[in-house]
Amino acid sequence: MTLIAAPPAPRPTKTILRALAGETLPVPPIWMMRQAGRYLPEYRATRAQAGDFLKLCYTPDLAAEVTLQPIRRFGFDAAIMFADILLVPQALGSDLWFVTGEGPRLSTITDAAGVAALRPAGSVHDTLAPVYETLRILRRELPAETTLIGFAGAPWTVATYMVAGRGTKDQAPAHAMKQADRAAFAALIDRIGDATVEYLSAQIEAGAEVVKLFDSWAGSLRGQDFDDFAVAPTARIIAALNDRHPGIPVIAFPREAGPRYVGFAAATGADAVALDNGVSAEWAAMNVQRAGPGGCVQGNLDPRHMVTGGPELVDETRRIVRALAGGPHIFNLGHGITPDADPDNVALMIETVRAGG
């Protein structure tokens, strides 16, 4: 019997998908973390219309609108859906509210009983259904060339908020729970990880073409803790998503990982690693981009340049583009754009990238 080989998978046409597939492009695709946000006057107007932040997240028409605003204004190569990483703990049963000028607050989980009281991972869809509708709207309304990105917080970062009940400078409450009862803390990480698989899987089914895991506080983990609570949970989530949705790329962002960026993609199965601006593009080119399979990196302009602008913005943008030109690269900031950024500086950054750096 003659076996006929299956035809090769079609080559992606969208620039970000091409970079994530390992292709080095003459001009890197570009998007920006928090690109839908308070630096845009149109966002502030829509936020006022919603009345409060959570209502904005859970009103699909408005969440889609703020996601589309930076695409209309700047023509980014990707749109990242508007939501918040703390919707997952809310869907698991934590109380969540936002204090004006101070940020999120949650009911706290500090022991095994608190972990056991959380809802099952599969129940999160009841709360998160509006997010999936936002994605369906975006798939209809985005330009054909624009990639749609979904996201979630990585388990460690989400856990730090669930234990402390708020953002903290050094994540001390989560570290304390981890030291006092490592098994209970590991169970919390697992519960968040299971819910995250459900959440991201549903995002993909609703239209996300790429998903990203934000581990904003990964840099506070050291040694075995980094392996156990940053690497291992990310690897489990990516493996589960690959089983359910083969071919959907995942970007991992273990912020402030420093030397632990090296080998992170290989250890977790991520298709790209997003870099903060604490490492240089030159170092990343040598140690991350050209050191592993695929080797796609994302980043990593310092967000302060979106405030200060000028020749320094142009020079730093050019330096990053040139340093990472030898491999697959998605241009982005090293962290989210800040509310005091000038939209004109965003336009200048994009113009510089697309001019060839």
318 is an active site residue: no
182 is an active site residue: no
43 is an active site residue: no
Q: Residue 302's closest CA among 277, 274, 280?
A: 277
Q: Which residues pair with 253 in a beta bridge?
A: 214
47 is an active site residue: yes
304 is an active site residue: no
Tell me how far apart the alpha carbons of residues 253 and 288 are, in angstroms, rounded to a whole number. Answer: 13
**Catalytic one among 18, 39, 43, 47?**
47
**Catalytic one among 34, 191, 236, 260?**
34
**Catalytic one among 39, 161, 199, 261?**
161
Would you say 87 and 55 are in contact if contact means Cβ atoms under 8 Å apart? no
Non-local CB neighbours of 229 within 8 Å, separated by 6+ positions: 155, 156, 159, 178, 189, 221
Tell me how far apart the alpha carbons of residues 301 and 293 are, in angstroms, rounded to a whole number. Answer: 24
**Catalytic one among 44, 84, 136, 139?**
84
Classify the phi-psi angles of 34: left when phi > 0, otherwise alpha if psi is within -120 to 50, otherwise beta. left
**Catalytic one among 38, 136, 139, 318?**
38
Would you say 131 and 83 are in contact if contact means Cβ atoms under 8 Å apart? yes
Would you say 296 and 29 are in contact if contact means Cβ atoms under 8 Å apart? no
3-state secondary structure labels for all residues of 132-179: HHHHHHHHHHCCCCCEEEEEEECHHHHHHHHHHCCCCCCCHHHHHHHH
By annotation, the residues acting in catalysis are: 34, 38, 47, 84, 161
